[in-house]
Amino acid sequence: MKTIYLPITSNKLEYLAKAGIPHTAYFTNQSTHIKLIDQPIAYFLAPSFLKKSDLGFIKKVKDFAKKTDLPQTGVNSSDISYYRFNSIPEQTGEVMEIDVNKAYWELAYRYGYISGEIYQAGLDTEKIGKLTRLVALGSLASKKKVFQFDGQNYHPIGYQFDPVLRSYFFHVSLELDLIMNRIFTDIGESALFYWFDAFFVSPEVAGYIESELNREGLGIKKQPIREVKKIKSNSFEYLKISDLDKGKPRVRTFTIPNQTLNLNLLSQYTV
């Protein structure tokens, strides 16, 4: 079957529906895969930052994981915290962001879900970007929502996923979460919060975090934060984090899960 690669912004799906061309569409958070029913042609719509070589790398990661024959781990997404917050004041002093460097990639290699060759290739930042690495590992947990178009209407078919591969990804996520939780507890009120693979803490505990992560075989990247501002609305609170990214101002938001959980953001990392 011939596959044609298109940007995720392509209107190919809309065109096929308007033209009445039967097809099956597979949706994930990162991509759309369309297979024509009466022709040996498929379309793969992916984010613009993913080149054809990146898609090949992602496939290589998934293919290797399938061949490992490692048992299903029994870990589910619900077993993982993903984040943890302390009580955050209206005004904060100096804050440091500490990212666990290549955390998921390192742990995936440690537990045998990627090979040494794939591991080294993923570290070549000139060829493989950070987002590509994350998408590659996330593809193990991908859950496709499937629809079939009969020429007039779409019919939901259900979901397609590999429970064994999903358990590999969740195992990696759980192992990192256990490390993050332990360190977060150790540093107490010096921590504002952690979110997946990043701590937001007082600068004086940066050395302790670095030594603990080194003891776990993991490295760090440090980034000073210019401002942390807590904002309240009628239904939820969130943090507005201001810093610099490659010398340019950047603002990010993190929902505080005391009343409303931002499931859309969470699902981007976990399915």
- Give per-residue pLDDT as tens, 179-207: 999 999 999 989 999 999 999 999 999 99
Total residue count of the chain as it appears in this document: 271
Distance CA 76, CA 30 (A): 20
Judge whether residue 269 has pLDDT over 80: no
Please choose, from the candidates 89, 100, 101, 102, the residue with its C-alpha nearest in 3D space to the C-alpha of residue 202: 89
Least confident window among 44-58, 146-160, 195-209: 44-58
133 vs 247 pLDDT, higher one: 133
Lookup result for tokens 């993190």: 254
- Structure confidence at residue 256 (pLDDT): 76
Q: How confident is the model at residue 125 (pLDDT cuts 50, 70, 90)?
A: confident
* Residue 235 scores a pLDDT above 80: no
Confidence of residue 136 (pLDDT cuts 50, 70, 90): very high
Least confident of 11-25, 165-179, 215-229, 250-264: 250-264
Q: Where are the alpha helices (DSSP H) in the chain?
A: 12-19, 52-67, 103-110, 116-123, 130-138, 163-187, 206-215, 263-270
Which carries the bigger pLDDT value, residue 105 or residue 247? 105
Residues in contact with 188: Cβ distance below 8 Å, sequence separation at least 6, in sequence order: none
List the helix and strand counts (H, then E) for the chain: 8, 14
Indicate whether this model's pTM tops 0.75. Answer: yes
Average pLDDT over residues 45-50: 84
Burial of 184 (0-12, 13-18, 19+ CB in 10 A): buried
Fold of 49-266: Palm domain of DNA polymerase (3.90.1600)
**Nearby residues of 208 by Cβ (< 8 Å), 6 or more positions away:** 186, 187
Task: With a cut of 80, say whether residue 251 has pLDDT above it.
Answer: yes
Rounded to 10 degrees, the C-alpha dihedral 104/223/249/102 comes to: -20
- For residue 61, give both structure tokens: 């990661």
pLDDT of residue 76: 92
pLDDT in tens, 66-80: 999 999 999 999 999
- pLDDT: is 105 or 9 the higher one? 105
Judged on CB neighbours under 10 Å (0-12, 13-18, 19+), 149 is buried
